[in-house]
A = this chain, B = another copy of it.
Amino acid sequence: MQRSPIQHCRNCGAAVSYRLPDDGDTKLRAVCPACHTVHYENPLNVVGTVPVWGDTGEQVLLCKRNIEPRKGKWTLPAGFMELNETTAEGAARETDEEAGAQFEMGPIFTLMNVARVGQVHFYYRARLLSTQFNPGTETMEAQLFTEAEIPWDEIAFRTVKETLEHYFADRRSGQFGFHTLDIA
């Protein structure tokens, strides 16, 4: 995360100033006085999965975070989308990196805007193919939970809690949908 103000031009290193660009833009941007580059800052995408196990998807895989923020709290496998991948590819990569799970990707399940922090979160359903996990260094442990076992007070992020709640509600209803939410 780098959300502190831009101080220097990425092209030439000169100190920038925040002002309206000359192209009619109505927002203050970091503009370089030397090479005239206008620097834009844009939202980040977070991509992850809801990996489930069992004939009716009764267990969900959560990862105990080994890094800040929210170290020691439980999360679905997720992280920042990278260049040169799709949202689904990024979600699969994070599931591999954080849980070391074997799985098949399913459809997109939640799309959540967290405008306050400039993020959009995408969660895909995924079907686990084994219960052997090999978590990476960002995860203390990876564990399956039924709905009754989910540590609701120890969930790392609001977007994860919302996604889990929608997952179990849809599972009870017998029909999985696609859910869009704005998180204040």
**A interface with B by C-beta (< 8 Å):** 2, 4, 6-15, 24, 27, 37, 39-45, 80-89, 107-108, 111, 113, 115-116, 118, 120, 137, 178, 180, 182
Contacts and interface: CB of A to CB of B under 8 A. Distances in A.
Contacts of A13: 7-9, 13-15
Pairs A-B, 3 closest by C-beta atoms: A8-B13, A86-B113, A13-B13
A8 B7 contact: no
Pick the most buried of A7, A9, A10, A41: most chain B CB atoms within 10 A of its CB. Answer: A10
A86 B43 CA distance: 9
Contacts of A84: 115-116, 118
A13 B7 CA distance: 8
B83 A43 contact: yes
A27 B81 CA distance: 13
Nearest to A178: B178
Given A13-B8, A113-B87, A115-B89, A42 B81 contact: yes
Contacts of A14: 13
Contacts of A42: 42, 44-45, 80-83
